[in-house]
Amino acid sequence: MNKIELKNVKNVLLLGATGGIGNAILNYLLEENSTLYIYTLSRSPVEYPRVHNTIASTINEASLSDFISSIPTVKFDLIINTIGYLENEHGGPEKSLRDISEEKLIEYFRTNAILTPLLAKVVRNNLSSEGFAFVALSAMVGSIGENELGGWYGYRASKSALNAFLKNIALEWGRTNKRSLVLAIHPGTTQTRLSEKFNSFVTHKVHSPNEAAANICNVIFSSSFSMTGNFLNWDGRVIDW
């Protein structure tokens, strides 16, 4: 096969399973394949049959590494990072340069950008030899080419950095493995905790988490390995970096 088939997936690693889109992806995968197992690392419990959940107070290089060390023989066909942050108690996305701060920019990059290459580093010896997909949820606003509005400095730039990391991972793994699919995927505007304050300003369609999950999985399972290193929209369109 030239792509990952959902019916053949045995083991999935999912980060962000407590989030709106991540939890909908978890449910979609469990429903569409009655034998696969999902391994999750999260800050609060995720309790489902066929889900092996590990809790860590912080998701960082150390907890990712401990998590993978605890399941050394598991080989993953699909790895998805849906962790992302737009707003927290310290404030939301910046309208202008006057709103940026070192602390907030670091938090955006820590959560939205650097977890993905750290995940790739720790999971690199646990990838299925039959082929695998490694996916992180990016955002359309991370596209430098399609940025016409400005603002949202930290979120935009951290998602642009995430895209750059994914392109690099795709190139590194693609050199030695022609059955690797590394993708940045924009889920589409989706009704979740992350977006709820902003969706009233949106003029395009806002998806339910279940619609977003089905769209994302459709993109993953219809993309051939030759698509590795792309930034894809929820409908499969290639987005400008």
Ligand X SMILES: NC(=O)c1ccc[n+]([C@@H]2O[C@H](COP(=O)([O-])OP(=O)(O)OC[C@H]3O[C@@H](n4cnc5c(N)ncnc54)[C@H](OP(=O)(O)O)[C@@H]3O)[C@@H](O)[C@H]2O)c1
Q: Which residues bind ligand X (CB under 6 A)?
A: 16, 18-22, 43-44, 59, 82-85, 111, 137, 139, 186-187, 189-190, 192-195
Enter the tokens of residue 207.
């998806």
Cβ closer to ligand X: 17 or 128? 17
Q: How far is the CB of 226 from ligand X (least distance, A)?
A: 25
Q: Supply φ then ψ for residue 180, to 5 degrees.
A: -115, 135
Q: For residue 65, is it left (φ>0), alpha (ψ between -120 and 50) or beta? A: alpha
| H-helix segments, 47-196 | 61-69, 102-108, 115-123, 153-176
Q: How far is the CB of 175 from ligand X (least distance, A)?
A: 27
The burial class, CB within 10 Å (0-12 / 13-18 / 19+), for 90 is exposed
First and final C-alpha spacing in the chain: 28
Q: How far is the CB of 220 from ligand X (least distance, A)?
A: 14
Cβ closer to ligand X: 59 or 127? 59
Q: How far is the CB of 205 from ligand X (least distance, A)?
A: 11
Enter the tokens of residue 99.
């709103």
Cβ closer to ligand X: 8 or 63? 63
Cβ closer to ligand X: 21 or 232? 21
Type of residue at 92: G
Residue 111: CA atoms inside 13 Å, Cβ hemisphere, count?
17
Q: How far is the CB of 201 from ligand X (least distance, A)?
A: 12
Q: How far is the CB of 109 from ligand X (least distance, A)?
A: 11
DSSP per residue over 65-107, as a string?
HHHHHTSTT--BSEEEE----S-BTTB---SSGGG--HHHHHH
Cβ closer to ligand X: 75 or 164? 164
Cβ closer to ligand X: 193 or 237? 193
